Amino acid sequence: MSSFFLPKGKPYNKFAILRYQQELIERNFSFLKCSISNRVLTCVGWIQPDDCSCRYKIKIEYVVGKEPKSTILYPKILPSKEIHMYDDHSLCLHFPQDMKWNEKTKIYQYSIPWISEWVIYYEIYLLNGGKWEGRESPTHFTEEEKNINKDIED
């Protein structure tokens, strides 16, 4: 399973893609436990980047071809635009014009490192008096523009 090839113009098996993503995530990040249900890959686990003050419980929900929805479950953090968090506690991790998500995009290479980076910048934000020092997109997205996926139920 080291390569990932989808022929152009051919239908693909969404479950196989979800299963492939699950295997890559679990192989590279053993702290995440993943399951597939109702066409959604869900991964939950605890992350604590080096030198961070506490552990964070995260959840990643992925529907084939869409940007994963990444959420901080614990500790409870008050959402705000300043920290790139939507009202539902999901994270704004990337600028869509920089990269278009599709069924070939590997979650383990992007979402999980971005979540870890978000945690580090959040802790810096807490220490420096509320200034976000992470990279930012040219525009902040509104609640209406966040990754909403009809296959993911809240």
Q: pLDDT tens digits, residue range 50-79? A: 988 899 999 999 999 899 999 999 999 999
Q: Per residue, what are the HEC states of the chain?
A: CCCCCCCCCCCCCHHHHHHHHHHHHHHHCCCEEEEEECCEEEEEEEECCCCCCCCEEEEEEECCCCCCEEEEEECCCCCCCCCCECCCCEECCCCCCCCCCCCCCCHHHHHHHHHHHHHHHHHHHHHCCCCCCCCCCCCCCCHHHCCCCCCCCC
Highest mean pLDDT among 13-17, 80-84, 90-94: 13-17
The answer, yes or no, to whether residue 39 has pLDDT greater than 70, is: yes
pTM above 0.85, yes or no: no
Between 52 and 115, the more confident residue is 115
Q: Please report which confidence band the pLDDT of residue 138 belongs to, taking 50, 70 and 90 as the band edges.
A: low
Where b means 16+ CB within 10 Å and e means fewer, 20-49 reads bbbebbbeebeebebeeeeebbbbbbebee
Cis link prior to 79 (omega < 30° from 0)?
A: no
Q: What is the pLDDT of residue 154?
A: 46
